[in-house]
Amino acid sequence: MAKFKLDKSVKYAKTHEWVRIEDGIATIGISDYAQDSLSDVVYVELPDVGDMVEAGKPAATVESVKAAEEVIAPVSGKVVEVNSSLEDTPEIVNDRPYDAWFFRVEPSDKLDAELANLMDAEAYDTHVDEEPH
């Protein structure tokens, strides 16, 4: 069992992003495991509202004192909102990774197939345990 917080209301990508579907909108962020691995987040580069993101492709960047990592879109769609508060306080990603979402998309018609490729909290927990640390 991982020592990281999991959110059972989201689906996880193998690349450590999460997605929560509410009222037809997909909210995307990074997992507790990802923020912990990055260490202190110092900068987040977000997509622009109106941008199209594609599942499996980079959509944002998160920088920490240790590294810069691409945030991979877990689902495809049109960006309808970005969390601009991350520009001024990127450290909230470390404090509350499941509240500190990065962007929201209006999913494409491929949503069901894309969600089928993601993991629930239990499967993600196993995935994290199996990763080299």
Q: Which secondary structure element, helix H or strand E, spans residue 107, and what is its range? A: strand 103-107
* Residue 52 burial (C-beta neighbours within 10 Å; 0-12, 13-18, 19+): middle
- How far is Cα 20 from Cα 7, in angstroms, rounded to an integer? 10
Q: So what's the pLDDT on residue 112?
A: 96
The pLDDT-based confidence of 133 (bands split at 50, 70, 90) is low
Convert the pLDDT of each residue in 33-65 to its tens digit: 999 999 999 999 999 999 999 999 999 999 999
Residue-range domains of the chain with CATH: 11-128 (2.40.50.100)
The pLDDT-based confidence of 3 (bands split at 50, 70, 90) is confident
